[in-house]
Amino acid sequence: MNDGELFRKLRQERGLTQAQLARGITSRTALSSFELRQTEISLPHAIKYLNRLNITLEEYEFIYRQKSTSKKHTFSQYLENKDTTEAEKNSRLLLQQFQKTGDNYFFYLYAQSELLNQVQYGQVFTTSYDLLVNEIKAYLDHVETWGPF
């Protein structure tokens, strides 16, 4: 199932017409074209449609993936630890996933895990606390949109 077909299915399940879903967002014909896979829509329009359908992006992705979670979502659950043994094991798994894939998402998830371990258990398990903090600071120094929130 493609995005347009899924949007049509979600719209119909909620009893909305194309005109009702598109009102104030796009034209009905633009939505129809998208549902028929003749055109693409912008992310801001997709988000507005989903909001009207009362569906979050995360829920949409879950449905689109045929009710399975992404690998990144699965690994993000490794931040929920019950004890130090599990925390250490999960930190190592996150680090291994980063080393295996080279995907920075897994490195920063690993760093978050270790920083949480420092707070919860008074220790990091696989590297030094200062090294993690410096790596995160170096990354944020290169992100133009980063600022005090």
With H, G, I as helix, E, B as strand and everything else as coil, classify residue 102. Answer: coil
Q: How far is CA 72 from CA 5, 19, 37, 60, 79, in A?
A: 25, 36, 28, 16, 12
Q: How far is CA 25 from CA 1, 16, 37, 56, 143, in A?
A: 23, 14, 18, 17, 31
With H, G, I as helix, E, B as strand and everything else as coil, classify residue 92. Answer: helix
Given 21, 42, 64, which residue is the final one in a domain?
A: 64
Structure confidence by residue, pLDDT tens digits, 42-91? 999 999 999 999 999 888 988 888 776 677 777 777 777 778 888 889 88
- Please provide the average confidence, as pLDDT, over all residues in the chain: 87
33 within domain boundaries: yes
Specify the pTM. Answer: 0.54
Could you tell me if 75 and 115 lie in one domain?
Answer: yes
Which pLDDT score, from 0 to 100, does residue 69 have? 66
31 within domain boundaries: yes
149 within domain boundaries: no
Which pLDDT score, from 0 to 100, does residue 147 have? 63
Q: What amino acid is encoded at 22 in this protein?
A: A
The lowest-confidence range among 1-10, 14-23, 121-130 is 121-130
For residue 16, what is the domain's CATH number?
1.10.260.40
Other C-beta atoms within 10 Å of 49: how many? 22
Which pLDDT score, from 0 to 100, does residue 15 have? 93
